[in-house]
A and B are shown apart, each in its own frame.
Chain A
Amino acid sequence: MEDSPSFPQPRSRARGFMDDVLQEFPARFFENWAEHTDIAILITDPEGAVRWSNPAFTKMCLYSMHEIVGRRPGRFLTGPLTEESARDVLSQAILQGKTCLTRITNYKKDATPYVAQIHMEPIKNNLGELLGFIALEQDVTNIDKKERDISELSASIYNQLLSHMHEAGAASSAS
Chain B
Amino acid sequence: MISPVSRVPHVPSSLKRWASKSELAIIISDTAGAVQWVNPAFKTICDYELDEIIGMKPGHFLSGPLTEVHARESLNEAIRDKKSCLVRITNYKKSGQPYIVEIHLEPIFNTKNEHQGFLSLERDVTEDEQRQRQYGKMNASMYHQLLQRFEVVKAGSKPNS
Task: List residues of A whose CB falls within 8 A of some B CB.
Answer: 3-5, 7-8, 10-11, 13-16, 18-19, 21-22, 25, 27-34, 36-39, 43, 45, 51-52, 66, 69-70, 99, 119, 121, 123-125, 131-132, 134, 136, 154, 158, 161-162, 164-165, 168-169, 171-172, 175
Contacts and interface: CB of A to CB of B under 8 A. Distances in A.
A14 B106 CA distance: 26
Nearest to A101: B123
B54 interface: yes
B106 A38 contact: yes
B150 to A, nearest CB: 5
Contacts of B114: 4-5
B145 to A, nearest CB: 11
A161 B150 contact: yes
A2 to B, nearest CB: 9
B149 interface: yes
Given A3-B110, A36-B108, A161-B146, A27 B16 contact: yes
Interface of B: 4, 7-9, 11-24, 28, 30-31, 36-37, 39-40, 49-51, 54-55, 84, 104, 106-112, 114, 116-117, 119, 121, 139, 143, 146-147, 149-150, 153-154, 156-157, 159
A134 B14 contact: yes
Contacts of B147: 161
A172 B100 CA distance: 50
Given A10-B55, A22-B37, A38 B84 contact: yes
Contacts of B9: 43, 51-52, 131-132
Contacts of B84: 37-38
A68 to B, nearest CB: 10
Contacts of B156: 172
Contact of B157 (A29, A34, A175): A175
Contact of A29 (B24, B106, B108, B139): B108
A14 B36 CA distance: 11
Nearest to B113: A36
B109 A32 contact: yes
A134 B108 contact: no
B18 A7 contact: no
30 contacts: A4-B110, A4-B114, A5-B110, A7-B36, A7-B37, A8-B37, A11-B54, A18-B39, A22-B16, A25-B37, A27-B13, A28-B12, A30-B16, A30-B19, A32-B109, A36-B108, A43-B9, A43-B15, A45-B7, A51-B7, A52-B8, A69-B8, A119-B24, A131-B14, A132-B9, A132-B14, A161-B150, A165-B146, A168-B153, A169-B153
Contacts of B37: 7-8, 21-22, 25
Contacts of A8: 36-37
